[in-house]
Structure 1
Amino acid sequence: MRSSPFAFYEEVRVKAGRAGLEEVAGELGAVLGSSQDGERWSYAILIYSRGATWGADEDDLVSTGRIRTREEFYDGAAVRVSEDGQLLD
């Protein structure tokens, strides 16, 4: 299996002309998640201007060459849940 072409927190731009991504074409975002199915990689991209995460395939993205830090996206806060999914204090 080949490694991911994009790193976590890597800044990317959504390519224009991609089906299903027309709404965010040309937008900047950051990789916050990834998955692999065989040789194909897919990503969860936080689109900065939307404040929302979108799914995209590796062919939908181009790197800006910038890697952000985890702290730019997560504040370290955590929640506790019970085994049945109930939020604990």
Structure 2
Amino acid sequence: MDSQQREMLRRLQALEFVLTDLNLYLDTHPDCQAALQDFARISEDLRQLKIAYEQRYGLLTVAGFGSGRSPWNWVETPWPWEIDG
């Protein structure tokens, strides 16, 4: 795994974490416009990053994320335990 792939995976994890945190916040503050705007913006950032990652490195999930690639291409990428820290 090259450093750019590792960095993209870290960025994906960070965005997923932020969205989860915002989701929890919005559960108790559903009318907070700033949080709703942040959620929409980060959701789009995450969507774009997933597409970019899959186009470059392969599917993140069996169904993929809009890459148009065959769902069986995942076998061509490293397994999670093959990714160095």
User: If the TM-score is normalised by the length of the shorter chain, which range does it land in?
Assistant: under 0.3
When normalised by structure 2's length, the TM-score is 0.19
Q: Which has the higher contact order (CA 8 A, sep 6+)?
A: 1
Q: TM-score, normalised by structure 1?
A: 0.19
Which is richer in strand?
Answer: 1
Task: Compare the two structures and name the one with the higher helix fraction.
Answer: 2
